[in-house]
Amino acid sequence: MPEKMSIVRNQFRPSRRQFMVGASTLVLPGWLASCSPSAVADIVMLGGEIHTVDAANRRVEALAIAGGKVFATGTNKEMERFIGANTRRVDLGGRTVLPGINDSHLHLLIWGLSQPPFSIDLTYPTVQSIADVVAAVGQVAATKPAGEWIVGRGWDQPYFSERRAPTAADLDAVTPDHPVALTDFSGHAIWANSRAMAIAGIGADTVPPAGGVIVRDADGNATGELFEGAGWLLREKIPLPTVAQKTAAITVAMQRMLARGITSATDPRLDPPDIELFNEIAAGSSTQKMRMNGLLGAGVTAVTLREALDSLQQISLPNPAWMQITGVKIMGDGIPTGNKTAWLNEPYEGGGNGSLLVHGETDEERVAELTAMINMIHAEGLQIGTHATGDRTIDTVVAAYQAAQKANPRIDPRHYLIHADMVSEETLATMAAEGIGANFNPEIKYLIADSQVQSIGPLRAAREWPFNSALAAGVQVASSSDAPVTQGNWLQGLATCVERKGKQSGEVSGPEQRITLDQAIRTYTATPAWQDHAEDYKGSLEAGKVADLCVLDERLSAADPSSFAGIKVAMALVDGSVVHDAGL
Ligand SMILES: [Zn+2]
């Protein structure tokens, strides 16, 4: 095994011994009374509701930080003794402190590039109709040289006041001279104008790649909507962002996420040049203060996967506390929304079962390809995160993880399902037994809870993302935004975990799947650290762990969950340094 790969495989884990090396700074509760009276903290926070997210979900009122780590937690009186002449004292006034939020599935680079000035913001309520979108595109077209691409992101058809699908003709009126590609909120659909489709060669006879859909009218003409792989026919014609643009996008995205208290994230599906870029940014870590974890993108065949794995061998990650690669992402299927591209056991409302997105002519061939890819990554000693939303895909992936582990047993590989919307009770039991994690998306639940009834019916829509069942079964459940699918407002996600209200109707969707506030907080902190193989040093506020934390401007346990989304983040700390301070 080449030396460089060992960095990728053996994730950064400051050993217990490393913590001990800073021996004088490590204080365990219990020997506080006997510890050196000269111990002085850098920061002491007093009078708060501090969720430690330790094994017992202990809440304390005070916390001391020294040398970038949590030094001790306890009562105000216990922590006051660590205040010295140079200690910063923070009076919390009853406010909530959480471990730094770990958004465990966040396309940070793509999110950055999907924000202005790189892309037009088409999210609701910025735009509320097709007419709004056309107006926004028209405005940009007026300032751009003819022929240059116009891109936007975030539209969501159920929120259009016109109550119909968008078309190329809508855009053609304002963009006769510019190709336009507008990605929807989910990233699984593109709305293009005629100029863009002409450049991509999409016409009446174009056959989309497997699993892809070119939406057509009664005469067989493409209407302008492209789903899944069909979107790539067009995407590959759009000039790639430059390294400078990507660097700017990552830097701005990190700043914006830190201001929301998000201190760690997993960016899935990175290619080797992007991994290098994150690595370079991490190397200048005086400016980077967000801990990044990445998954390598696998492509859609065992051949593209092999190439990706080989290219990973060339990469050295010397600063894994700030940038590490734990594994590989496979794209299993699509999504069970109106696109109907998730692969289901029982048909959608109105018919169709969807399919896998990996290479293959038949279901059998695609299952074989997916299984081969899983075996290959498992044999490399890497973690696997597979995008699997439909129950049939989920069952297929879990069976393949199980078989790979049986054939080639590894200690605690922590493979997981990304999304896992429609996971069954039976499969949850298997996942718990096998140590397979689930990465759920409460913010997407909030967004689509109401509209899902049309595509999968009321029972399946209500059960989508069964948090309570998964936790009761003993599955490791992490929550994530999947930004830019949502906008990374984890406080909304927290509210959805405990309330499960739909954004459009405000009605509760699947009340039996609601979970407690403590459970919900854990899905954004300790369990994502588990997913990162990093629970030894982050994810909870316990002595010896890194001082990554998030101070809210309110007391969470006293707030109405329906108001969580509006709570401000007062402070964020990473490695004991203040990276966001809105003032208390
Ligand atoms: Zn994603």
Q: What is the pLDDT of residues 383-396, one digit of tens each?
A: 999 999 999 999 99
Residue 216 has pLDDT above 80, yes or no: yes
Choice among 23-37, 44-58, 146-160, 261-275 with the minimum mean pLDDT: 23-37
Query: d(Cα 492, Cα 569) in Å, to the nearest integer?
Result: 13
Cα(61) to ligand 1 centroid in Å equals 37
- Report CA(272)–ligand 1 centroid distance (Å): 18
Q: Is the pLDDT of residue 401 over 80?
A: yes
pLDDT of residue 64: 98
DSSP reduced 3-state for 555? coil
pLDDT band at 38 (very low <50, low <70, confident <90, very high): low
Find the 58 Cα to ligand 1 centroid distance in Å: 32
The 10s digit of each residue's pLDDT in 437-490 is 999 999 999 999 999 999 999 999 999 999 999 999 999 999 999 999 898 999
In what order do the strands lie in the sheet containing 96-99? 59-60, 49-51, 96-99, 549-552, 569-574, 577-581
Q: Give the predicted TM-score (pTM) of the model.
A: 0.85
Mean pLDDT, residues 419-442: 98
- The answer to whether the CB of 293 falls within 8 A of the CB of 265 is yes
DSSP-derived secondary structure letter, 557:
G
pLDDT over 70 at 211, yes or no: yes
CB–CB of 340/189 below 8 Å? Answer: no
- Classified as helix, coil or strand, 511 is helix
Per-chain residues with Cβ under 5 A from ion ligand 1: 482
CA distances from 120 to 267, 288, 331 (A): 22, 26, 26
151-209 pLDDT, tens digit per residue, is 999 999 989 999 999 999 999 999 999 999 999 988 889 999 999 999 999 988 999 98
Cα of 416 from ligand 1 centre, angstroms: 13
Question: Distance from the CA of 460 to the center of ligand 1, in angstroms?
Answer: 21
DSSP structure class, residue 361: S
| Per-residue pLDDT, 320 | 84
Of 145, 201, 202, 137, the residue nearest 175 (C-alpha):
137
Q: Tens digit of pLDDT for each residue in 234-279?
A: 999 999 999 999 999 999 999 999 999 999 999 999 999 999 999 8
The sign of the torsion formed by the CA atoms of 423, 432, 557, 583 equals negative
Cα 181 to Cα 166, 170, 178, 228, 484: the distances in Å are 12, 13, 10, 14, 16
CB 540 within 8 A of CB 52: yes
Q: How far is the CA of 328 from the centre of ligand 1 (A)?
A: 13
Ligand 1 centroid–CA 387 distance in Å is 7
CA 104 to ligand 1 centroid distance, Å: 10
Q: Measure the CA–CA gap between 226 and 214, rounded to whole angstroms.
A: 5
Ligand 1 centre from 48 Cα, in Å?
A: 35
**Inter-residue contact 113 to 119 (CB < 8 Å):** yes
Distance 482 CA to ligand 1 centre (A): 5
Supply the pLDDT for residue 288. 62
Measured in Å, residue 321 CA sits from the centre of ligand 1 at 23
Q: Ligand 1 mean position to 226 CA, how many Å?
A: 18
Distance 498 CA to ligand 1 centre (A): 23
**Measuring CA to CA, which residue among 520, 486, 499 is closest to residue 562?**
499
Mean pLDDT of all residues belonging to the chain: 91
Tokens encoding 557 = 């346990």
* DSSP assignment string, 395-417: HHHHHHHHHHHHHS--S----EE
Name the DSSP class of 450. T
* Residue 363, C-beta contacts closer than 8 angstroms, at least 6 positions apart: 355, 356
Chain Cα centroid distance, residue 287: 22
**Ligand 1 centre from 170 Cα, in Å?**
29
Omega into 484 within 30° of 0, i.e. cis? yes
291-297 sheet: strands from edge to edge: 101-103, 262-270, 291-297, 323-331, 383-388, 416-419, 437-440, 477-479
pLDDT given for residue 487 in this prediction: 86
How many angstroms is it from 76 CA to the middle of ligand 1? Answer: 42
Q: Which residues contact residue 578 at a Cβ distance below 8 angstroms, ignoring those fewer than 6 apart?
A: 571, 572
Give me ligand 1 centre to Cα 106, in Å.
7
Span from the CA of 187 to the centroid of ligand 1 (angstroms):
8
* % of the chain exceeding 70 in pLDDT: 93
Element (H, E) at 467: helix 467-473
The percentage of the chain sitting over the pLDDT mark of 90, rounded to a whole number, equals 82
Instruction: Find the 188 Cα to ligand 1 centroid distance in Å.
Output: 10
User: Tokens 């994730």 label which residue?
Assistant: 11
Q: How far is CA 480 from CA 490, 520, 523, 527, in A?
A: 8, 11, 8, 11
| CA 481 to ligand 1 center in whole angstroms | 8
Q: How far is ligand 1, taken at its centre, from the CA of residue 72, in Å? A: 36
d(Cα 97, Cα 94) in Å, to the nearest integer? 9
CA 175 / ligand 1 centre spacing (Å): 30
- Please calculate the CA angle 293-318-411 and round it to the nearest 5 degrees: 55
Q: With b meaning 16 or more CB within 10 Å and e meaning fewer, what string describes 92-104?
A: beebbbbbbbbbb
d(CA 75, CA 98): 16
Per this entry, what is the length of the chain? 584
Dist. CA 409 → ligand 1 center (Å):
28
Q: Tell me how crowded residue 73 is: count the other CB atoms within 10 A of its CB.
A: 25
CA distance linking residue 428 with residue 5, whole number of Å: 33
What is the structure's pLDDT at 326?
A: 95
Q: Over the stretch 343-369, which tens digit does the pLDDT of each residue have?
A: 999 999 999 999 998 889 999 999 999
φ, ψ for residue 188, nearest 5 deg: -100, 0
Whole-number Å distance, alpha carbon 30 to ligand 1 midpoint, is 43
Q: What pLDDT was estimated at residue 28?
A: 42
329 Cα–ligand 1 center, Å: 10
User: Cα–Cα distance between 53 and 527 in angstroms, integer?
Assistant: 10
Cα–Cα distance for residue pair 152/108, rounded to 1 Å = 16
Q: Tell me the CA–centroid distance for residue 105 and ligand 1, in Å.
A: 6
